[in-house]
Structure 1
Amino acid sequence: MNDWQDVKNVVVVGLGITGLSVVKYLDRYHPNIAVKVIDTRENPPGLSELPAGIACHQGGWCNEWLAAADLVVINPGIALATPEIQQVIQTGTPVVGDIELFAWHVDQPVIAITGSNGKSTVTDLTGKMAAATGLRVAVGGNIGIPALDLIDESVELYVLELSSFQLETTSHLKLKAAAFLNLSEDHMDRYRDIEGYRQAKLRIFNHAQAAIVNCDDPLTFPDTFSGAVVTFSISQAADFSVQYIDECEYLVADGRPVIACDQLKLVGRHNLANVLTVLALLQHAGIGYEKGLDTLKSYTGLTHRCQVVADNRGIQWVNDSKATNVASTLAALSGLTLKGTLYLLVGGVGKGADFSPLAPVLNSLNVRLCCFGRDGQQFMRLHPAAKQYETMADVITDIAPQLSEGDIVMLSPSCASFDQFQNFMARGDAFAALAHQYA
């Protein structure tokens, strides 16, 4: 459904950044539609920024408003399985998210990226390399700016990071190229099993011309797909791969060397896979990435993602706060060169995850495991040199006097942050501040 003429009443469920972007979009482009907001929080973020005349029901549900709606737009943080939303679906009223509204509106080319890990880096780098070719590019979605806030007639290419939550309510997004980077256990408090999580992510390919998939993770392949399936791999033959040429390791596209791996500033093998994905996305969106290679060479990655925030007395402090699941922490550890002791900070809100896959990797490292936050206790059994703390600040206060040259202090928590912080960015900023205090 993308015919607005029958829509007279819209209910936006969930405010915050995304909900506010939906309200502002409707106010700008569909001013004759009546809009109401429901948020079960008593004082939802964004409330003071609502346009004049928009009613907001706070602190619970308003079934009367839902029953009268022609269209319900829900925040990605609200599961479709929520009983009140299921009741709406059963009456036949469409329930969509902000990305579906974006899909109805936009005619310009769109690239999109999903996956359990690495999607923010791929999205950011894709946008920067595309912009380096001279295109007017807008980047956002699940990273940075909400998709509806990006809409501008002058934009020549949109690059979106999409979460499984966003994809659940998206049905008509047409994409020049879409990438599914990898799949690992995450959000098991939302999905029945990992297959349910996978199926949500596979929706990214529903209307894509090219599907960029990971040879090293067959679960990223679509079950059925009529367009071009394009593969990448850092360990085997693929359309975009890593190969040795004259004893030098290169990123290779369709058999052609693109750039030597040692020319990249990004750290870790997982980032080679990320760059291969970017090259594949750009090529299959019809964008000549050659003009963006200087941008690629100078790219150092995202804040909060394997970011060295302090390096003093030979001690490195690494902010990997965006590692909110086990696979992301494993990726950070796989790219690590360690001369001394690794002080690894883990913990927060575990989201029902199994942390045991960390144990064999930790046992191969000279590591002190520093566990904090609500679910920190769950990490204690993973390594004999594990110690529990209440907060991240408690960890740093304890270990700072013990640090010596060659040591690395890394925040890569494998958990969400909202037990003690507003978001992973706030957690990373707090770590960086502590690093500068003690470095």
Structure 2
Amino acid sequence: MVIIIGLGKTGLSCVEYFLAKGVTPLVMDTRANPPGRDQLPAGVELVQGLDRERLKHAHMIVASPGIALATPELKEAAERGVQIVGDIELFVREAQAPIIAITGSNGKSTVTTLVGEMIAEAGLRVGVGGNIGIPALELLKTPADLYVLELSSFQLETTHSLRAAASVVLNLSEDHMDRYEGMADYRAAKMVVHQHSSHILVNRDDQQTRPDVGKAWGSFGLDSAAYGRVEVDGRLWLSLLGEPLLPVDEMKIVGAHNHANALAAMALCDAVGIVREPQLAVLRRFEGLPHRARFVREVNGVRWINDSKATNVGATLAAVAGVREAVQGKLILLAGGQGKGQDFGPLQALLGSQIDHMLCFGQDGAMLAALGEQTELVANMEEAVKRAFAMAKAGDWVLLAPACASLDQFKSFEVRGDRFTEQVLAL
């Protein structure tokens, strides 16, 4: 028996995958009314909760990334020798085209999108999905010359057969510490992306991204080595081995973290033979993804920026660094939500220097507000917007980069970002 744990878009794609193979799976979900329930094909049973008795009859369990392998019911199944996989494992077993695999704490979606657009610009058929957009199994329906997958640590936990043509761990900073025993445990989950990879790309500015097993093919960083940056006549360029390739002021995405994202995308494309001009064409036109350092509006000389996707401290540090050099006045940061057990300490070092004032809200808002004198605790994000509007002056910037997950107050980081945008547009 095949048991799928977790419905939603990914669970439905797994159901369809098995039905196409003549296997009718059983679906379990802990939610009373999981998304996708009304789309379940006839004959597929949905059980609420994790039924231990039914699980005893499983020969394969397809687990949603949202359920930890440490869940008692899954641990019991694993001890019985039951095969536990995820949708990514099913995908890589079937995929007939090379795979570019991208993970890391921050920047995954931007790099995945850039690589996908660069491949398409080169005239090749490309499937882009995984932790972004389309569930991986849906990509098998359309012929592709290359696949580009964004992979979370949760997805990699149940992936055993990946043999990427090129792989990268973009960076590592604390995230999901409510699920992992510590940073080493989290890093180990990410490093699975390099298993049997033909071209391993590492970040020179983050030694944690270097693989424990296997030799790096290439590296990117913000210095002038390999894929890096050089200054020519006072102008900063993306470069390869010191050769200028593209002035960073010709890109629409800004900030050092986006320079790193662009360099990683170029390196991954080089690894699979994508020629240079399509890469540069995409970098010149790419405006960034929603909720990632997106300009919302200027009000009375104050610029408002939505980076709701900054769901961990590392992402917030990158967002602050990305905009700080352009801020003429003060930078007001809006932060808060579910901290996921992170250490907020790195933000404390920026208070009074990079961050002039921090308005804190949500479940762990009080922990953020306790970091220093330049903080202020407010009831919710709406109050934070009102307070920032009252205190900001011409030349100041207001940045939503919460350093936390959104689920204490919002359905998703996208909903949080949309609500922020609505509130700013209403000022």
Q: Same fold (TM over 0.5)?
A: yes
Q: Whole-Å Cα distance in 1 between the matches of residues 366 and 13 of structure 2? A: 38
Counterparts of 2:189 and 2:354, CA distance in 1: 35
Given the superposition, is the C-alpha separation of residues 56 and 288 from structure 1 closer, same or farther in structure 2, using an over 3 Å criterion? same
Alignment of 1:12 onto 2:4: yes
Q: How many Å separate the matches in 1 of 2:94 and 2:351?
A: 48
* Cross-structure match for 1:41: 31
Provide the rounded CA distance (Å) in 2 between the counterparts of 1:274 and 1:259. 14
- Cα distance, 1:399 vs. partner? 3.1
Does the 8 Å contact 1:251/1:261 carry over to 2?
yes
Q: 2:291 aligns with which of 298, 304, 312?
A: 304
Q: Which amino acid is 2:87 matched to? A: D
Q: Does 1:64 align with 2:53?
A: yes
Q: Answer yes or no: is the 8 Å Cα contact 2:229–2:242 preserved in 1.
A: no
Question: SS of the counterpart of 2:134?
Answer: coil
1:165-180 alignment to 2 at 5 Å?
165-180=154-169
Paired position in structure 1 for 2:220: 232
Deviation at 1:143, TM superposition (A): 1.1
Q: Give the corresponding residue for 1:24.
A: 16
d(CA) in 1 for partners of 2:241, 2:211: 21
Asked whether the equivalents of residues 114 and 181 of structure 1 are also in contact (C-alpha less than 8 Å), the reply is yes
- The match for 1:344 among 305, 324, 333 is 333
Q: 2:147 aligns with which of 158, 161, 168?
A: 158
Aligned to 1:90: 79
Letter in 2 for 1:243: V
Residue number among 261, 277, 298 corresponding to 1:274 in the alignment: 261
Q: Which amino acid aligns with 2:295?
A: V
8 Å contact kept, 1:186–1:351 = yes
Counterpart-to-counterpart distance in 1, 2:246 and 2:374: 41
| Stretch moving more, 428-437 or 39-48 | 39-48
Kindly report which structure 2 residues correspond to 1:289-300, keeping only aligned pairs within 5 A, or say none.
289-300=276-287
In 1, distance between residues paired with 2:307 and 2:188? 28
Secondary structure (helix, strand or coil) at the match of 1:279 reads helix
Q: Normalising by structure 2, report the TM-score.
A: 0.96
**How much is the aligned-residue C-alpha RMSD, in angstroms?**
1.4
* AA of the residue aligned to 2:318: A
Q: Counterpart amino acid of 2:246?
A: I
Cα distance per residue 1:7-61 (max 9 Å; x no partner): xx2100111222122112222x31x212001111122122111111110111x21
The change in CA–CA distance for 1:403 and 1:247 in structure 2 (over 3 A counts) is: closer
1:44 alignment partner AA: P
Letter in 2 for 1:176: A
Greater mean alpha carbon deviation, residues 253-262 or residues 79-88: 253-262
Residues 89/437 of structure 1: CA separation in 2 closer, same or farther (3 Å cut): same
Of 321-330 and 394-403, the range deviating more from structure 2: 394-403
Q: CA deviation at 1:311?
A: 2.1
- Is the CA contact 1:129–1:289 (under 8 Å) kept in the aligned structure 2? no
| Cα distance, 1:342 vs structure 2 | 2.1
Q: For residues 289-348 of structure 1, give each alpha carbon's deviation from its aligned partner in whole angstroms, at most 9, with x where no partner exists.
A: 322312211112111000101123322110000000001000011122222232211000
Cα deviation for residue 164 of structure 1 reads 0.6
Name the amino acid aligned to 1:116.
S
Deviation, 1:373, is 0.6
For residue 73 of structure 2, what is the amino acid of its counterpart? Answer: E
The CA deviation at 1:396 is 1.8
1:371-410 matches, cutoff 5 A: 371-410=360-399
Aligned partner of 1:359 in structure 2 is 348
Which runs of structure 2 are paired with 1:129-208 in the superposition (5 Å)?
129-208=118-197
> For residues 341 and 254 of structure 1, what CA distance do their matches in structure 2 show?
37
Retained in 2: the 8 A contact 1:348–1:375?
yes
* Structure 2 contact 224–241 (Cα < 8 Å) conserved: no
- Equivalent residue for 1:219? 208
Per-residue CA deviation, residues 236-263 of structure 1 (Å, 9 max, x unaligned), is 53x2111223443221124432212221
The 1:153/1:402 distance shift into structure 2, 3 A limit, reads closer
SS in 2 for 1:278: helix
Instruction: Give the distance between the partners of 2:131 and 2:327, measured in 1 at CA.
Output: 33
Structure 2: unaligned runs, 5 residues or longer: none
Contact 2:221 2:227 in 1 (8 A): yes
Q: Are 2:351 and 2:374, in contact at CA under 8 Å, matched by a contact in 1?
A: no
- The reply on whether 1:51 has 2:41 as its aligned counterpart is yes
Select 2:245's aligned residue among 258, 270, 273: 258
Q: Name the CA distance, whole Å, in 1 between partners of 2:63 and 2:109.
A: 23
1:432 and 1:354 map into 2 onto residues whose CA distance is 28
Count of residue pairs brought into register by the alignment: 425
In the TM superposition, residue 204 of structure 1 has moved relative to its aligned partner by: 0.3
Task: Please tell me the residue identity of whatever aligns with 1:362.
Answer: L
- Secondary structure, aligned partner of 2:345: coil
Q: Which moved more, 1:308-317 or 1:200-209?
A: 308-317
After TM superposition, the score normalised by the length of structure 1 is: 0.94
Inter-partner Cα distance in structure 1 for 2:302 and 2:251: 23
Post-superposition offset of 1:153 = 4.1
Deviates more, 1:312-321 or 1:93-102: 312-321
- Contact 2:116-2:128 within 8 A present in 1 as well: yes
Q: Given that residues 340 and 366 in structure 1 are in contact (C-alpha distance below 8 angstroms), is that contact kept between their aligned partners in structure 2? A: no
Deviations 1:144-192 (A, max 9, x none): 1111122234222111110011001001112111111111111111111
Q: Is contact 1:133–1:289 with CA below 8 Å preserved after alignment? A: no
Gaps of 5+ in 1: 1-8
Letter in 2 for 1:196: D
The CA distance in 2 between the partners of 1:398 and 1:115, in whole Å, is 34
